[in-house]
C-alpha cells in the first residue's frame, strides 16, 4: 500500500485530493491540523505522532521533524535502503503533499510585528519539500494545490513520468528559494526582488540560429503569454516577442481592433465597428511590411475576418477567441500559429529587461495617468472627428519604437515612423508610408518636438492636427509654426517612450 504524507497550511482542495488517493488504496498520514480536517470528512488517517511514536512538541513547532519521516522520504529504491527501514520498523513514504506557512502574506500587512512574522517562518514544511524534491526519482512532491487535479488524474491512469516528477521537484526548490529570500530580506530590512520563473519550453533558437533560447513563465504549466496554442508550428523566440508587442498594442483599444506587427514594430493599427473592417484598415496602413507579420485582435476572430486574413501570409494570429468557422478556415494553413488568450489583461504590473551585470525594472506603461488633462495650445481647435483620431493616434504611438510618429485617419494608422535617432526622420518615414492618405490626417508624437521642423514636415505631408507631450524649451516655436500653418495642436503633458 503506497503511503502519502500530508502537511498543509492552505487546505484548498485537500479533502478532494486525499479522498481520491484513499480510493486508489493510498494510506494517509497527516500532521495535526491536516489530520483533523481529514478525520472530520470521514477519511481514515494516521497522525504523524502515531507514525513516529513521538508527540508534537513546543506548541506544534516540531511535528514532522523525525527520522521516521525523513528516513521514509529519503530512502532510495534499493534493497539496502528497504532493509534498513525494515530493521527500524519504518515505512517508505511515496508522496509528500505540503505547503508553507503564509510568511509573505503576514509581512505584507502594514501592522505585522516581528514576532508575528517569525512565527510564520516554516521549518518542517521547507524541510519536507527539500527532502521529497531531492528524492524525486521515487517520491512525488506536491506543494501547489493547483497541481492536485492533474496529479490525481495521472495516478489514476498509471503513474507520473520522470519528467513530471522532476518538474514537481523543480517547483518545490523554486518555492523554497523564494520563501527564504523573503525571510532574509525582511529580517535584514532590505527589499530583495525575487522572480519565480517556471521553465515552459525550450525554443529551437533565439533571435538567430546560433543563439540558445528558452521560454519561462510566472506560473507552472502556463501557455505562451498565458494563452493557449490552437494550431501551427512551434513558436519561435522572435514570434513570442512580436506576439507580445501586438497583444499589448491591440488591448489598448476598447473598440474591435487589429494590430499588425513586424519585427517588434506595428505597421498597422485600426479600430472599427466590425473586426473585418479594422483588419482591412490596419493592412492598408503598410501592406508591404504586413507580409509575414503577426496579427492581433482584441475580440473573437470571426469567419469574415479570418477569410480576409487568410489572403495574406502571416506567421501568427493572437486573439481572445476564434469562431468554429474561423478555425476551419485557418486549419487549411497548417503552419499558421493560432494563440487564444483568456482575457485582455497585461500582466504582471512590472516589466524587466536584462542589461550587462544587471536587470532593469519598471512599471508597465498603461497610457496616460487619470489626472492628466490635454491642453489645446494653438489658435485653431480640433473638430470632434479630429479629436477622436488624435486620441486613437496617441494610443497607437505608445506601441511604436521611439522616436514614434503616427499618422491616422478615421481611427486607423495610415503612416508609422519610429526607431530612428531623430524625430524629424520619423515624420518623413510616416509621410512616405502614408502618401496621399496623409492629407487631412492627424499626427501623434510620443515625445516633444525639439525644433519646429517636424511640424513643417507634417504640414507639408497634409497633417491638420497634432498631439504631443510638450515640454521642450522651444515649444513656442512649434506652436507658432502650427498657428502660421493653420494646424491645431494639443499638449498632453505625458511622454511615452518605448525603447
Q: Which three cell numbers mark 116?
A: 508575528
Cα angle 220-221-227, degrees, rounded to a multiple of 5: 115
Report how far residue 90's alpha carbon sits from residue 179's, in angstroms, rounded to the nearest whole number.
Answer: 31
For 83-140, what is each residue's pLDDT tens digit?
Answer: 887 888 888 889 999 988 888 788 877 788 888 888 878 888 898 999 999 999 899 9
Q: Identify the H or E element spanning 73.
A: helix 67-74
Closest CA to 176 of 143, 138, 137: 143
Q: What is the pLDDT along the chain (499 residues), one digit of tens a residue?
A: 898 999 998 888 899 999 999 999 999 988 888 889 999 999 998 888 777 767 777 766 676 778 878 888 888 888 888 888 788 888 888 999 998 888 878 887 778 888 888 887 888 889 899 999 999 989 999 998 888 988 999 999 888 888 899 999 999 998 898 888 888 888 887 665 667 778 899 999 999 999 999 999 988 788 999 999 999 999 999 999 999 999 999 999 999 999 999 999 999 999 999 999 999 999 999 999 999 999 999 999 999 999 999 999 999 999 999 999 999 999 999 999 999 999 999 988 889 999 998 989 999 999 999 888 999 999 999 999 999 999 999 999 999 999 999 999 999 999 999 999 999 999 999 999 999 999 999 999 999 999 999 999 999 999 999 999 999 999 999 999 999 999 999 999 999 999 9
- The answer to whether 121 and 183 have CB atoms below 8 angstroms apart is yes
Report how far residue 327's alpha carbon sits from residue 303's, in angstroms, rounded to the nearest whole number.
Answer: 8
pLDDT of residue 224: 93
Dump the DSSP string for 261-303: EETTEEEEEEEESSHHHHHHHHHHH-HHHHTTEEEEESSEE-H
The single residue listed with the C-alpha cell 513521538 is: 54
Closest CA to 134 of 178, 88, 165: 165
What amino acid positions are annotated as catalytic residues?
134, 263
Going from the C-alpha of 117 to that of each of 85, 103, 120, 149, the distances in angstroms are 37, 6, 5, 32
Please, is 99 exposed, middle or buried when counting C-beta atoms within 10 Å of its C-beta (0-12, 13-18, 19+)?
buried
Report how far residue 332's alpha carbon sits from residue 334's, in angstroms, rounded to the nearest whole number.
Answer: 6
For the chain, domains (ranges, CATH) are 3-188 (3.40.50.1380), 229-340 (3.40.140.20), 375-491 (3.40.140.20)
Q: Which three cell numbers mark 445?
A: 508624437
Establish whether the linkage from the previous residue to 348 is cis, with ω within 30° of 0.
yes
Establish whether the linkage from the previous residue to 489 is cis, with ω within 30° of 0.
no
Report how far residue 259's alpha carbon sits from residue 250's, in angstroms, rounded to the nearest whole number.
Answer: 5
Q: Which three cell numbers mark 131?
A: 527532502
The single residue listed with the C-alpha cell 480640433 is: 382
pLDDT of residue 221: 80
Report how far residue 31's alpha carbon sits from residue 61's, in angstroms, rounded to the nearest whole number.
Answer: 11
Amino acid at each position: 500500500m503506497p503511503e502519502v504524507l500530508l502537511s498543509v497550511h492552505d487546505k484548498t482542495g485537500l479533502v478532494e485530493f486525499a479522498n481520491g488517493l484513499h480510493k486508489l488504496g493510498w494510506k494517509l498520514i497527516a500532521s495535526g491540523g491536516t489530520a483533523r480536517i481529514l478525520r472530520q470528512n470521514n477519511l481514515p488517517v494516521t497522525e504523524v505522532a502515531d507514525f513516529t511514536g513521538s508527540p508534537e512538541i513546543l506548541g506544534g513547532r516540531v511535528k514532522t521533524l523525525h527520522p521516521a519521516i525523513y528516513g521514509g522520504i529519503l530512502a532510495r529504491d534499493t534493497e539496502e535502503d528497504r532493509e534498513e527501514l525494515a530493521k527500524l520498523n519504518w515505512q517508505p513514504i511515496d508522496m509528500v503533499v505540503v505547503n508553507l506557512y503564509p510568511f509573505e502574506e503576514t509581512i505584507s500587512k502594514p501592522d505585522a510585528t516581528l514576532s508575528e512574522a517569525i512565527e510564520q517562518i516554516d521549518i518542517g514544511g521547507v524541510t519536507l519539500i527539500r527532502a521529497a524534491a531531492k528524492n524525486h526519482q521515487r517520491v512525488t512532491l506536491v506543494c501547489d494545490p493547483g497541481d492536485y487535479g492533474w496529479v490525481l488524474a495521472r495516478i489514476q491512469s498509471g503513474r507520473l513520468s520522470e519528467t513530471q516528477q522532476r518538474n514537481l521537484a523543480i517547483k518545490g526548490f523554486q518555492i523554497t528559494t523564494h520563501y527564504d529570500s523573503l525571510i532574509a530580506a525582511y529580517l535584514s530590512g532590505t527589499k530583495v526582488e525575487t522572480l519565480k520563473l517556471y521553465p515552459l519550453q525550450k525554443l529551437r533558437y533565439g533571435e538567430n540560429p546560433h543563439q540558445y533560447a528558452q521560454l519561462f513563465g510566472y506560473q507552472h504549466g502556463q501557455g505562451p503569454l498565458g494563452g493557449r496554442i490552437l494550431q501551427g508550428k512551434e513558436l519561435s523566440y522572435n514570434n513570442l516577442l512580436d506576439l507580445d508587442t501586438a497583444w499589448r498594442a491591440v488591448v489598448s483599444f476598447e473598440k474591435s481592433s487589429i494590430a499588425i506587427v513586424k519585427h517588434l514594430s506595428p505597421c498597422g493599427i485600426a479600430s472599427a465597428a466590425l473586426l473585418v473592417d479594422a483588419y482591412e484598415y490596419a493592412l492598408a496602413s503598410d501592406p508591404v511590411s504586413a507580409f509575414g507579420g503577426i496579427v492581433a485582435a482584441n475580440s473573437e476572430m470571426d469567419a469574415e475576418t479570418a477569410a480576409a486574413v487568410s489572403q495574406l501570409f502571416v506567421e501568427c494570429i493572437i486573439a481572445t477567441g476564434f469562431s468554429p468557422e474561423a478555425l476551419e478556415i485557418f486549419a487549411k494553413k497548417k503552419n499558421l500559429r493560432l494563440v487564444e488568450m483568456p482575457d485582455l489583461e497585461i500582466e504582471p504590473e512590472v516589466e524587466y529587461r536584462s542589461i550587462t551585470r544587471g536587470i532593469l525594472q519598471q512599471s508597465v506603461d498603461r497610457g496616460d495617468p487619470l489626472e492628466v488633462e490635454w491642453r489645446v495650445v494653438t489658435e485653431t481647435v480640433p473638430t470632434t472627428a479630429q479629436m477622436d483620431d488624435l486620441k486613437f493616434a496617441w494610443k497607437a504611438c505608445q506601441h511604436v519604437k521611439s522616436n514614434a510618429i503616427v499618422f491616422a485617419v478615421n481611427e486607423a494608422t495610415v503612416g508609422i515612423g519610429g526607431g530612428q535617432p531623430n524625430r524629424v526622420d520619423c515624420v518623413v518615414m510616416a509621410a512616405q508610408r502614408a502618401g496621399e492618405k496623409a492629407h487631412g490626417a492627424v499626427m501623434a508624437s510620443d515625445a516633444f518636438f525639439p525644433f519646429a521642423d517636424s511640424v513643417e514636415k507634417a504640414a507639408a505631408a497634409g497633417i491638420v492636427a497634432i498631439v504631443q507631450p510638450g515640454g521642450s524649451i522651444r515649444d513656442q516655436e512649434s506652436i507658432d509654426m502650427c498657428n502660421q500653418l493653420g494646424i491645431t495642436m494639443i499638449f498632453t503633458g505625458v511622454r511615452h517612450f518605448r525603447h
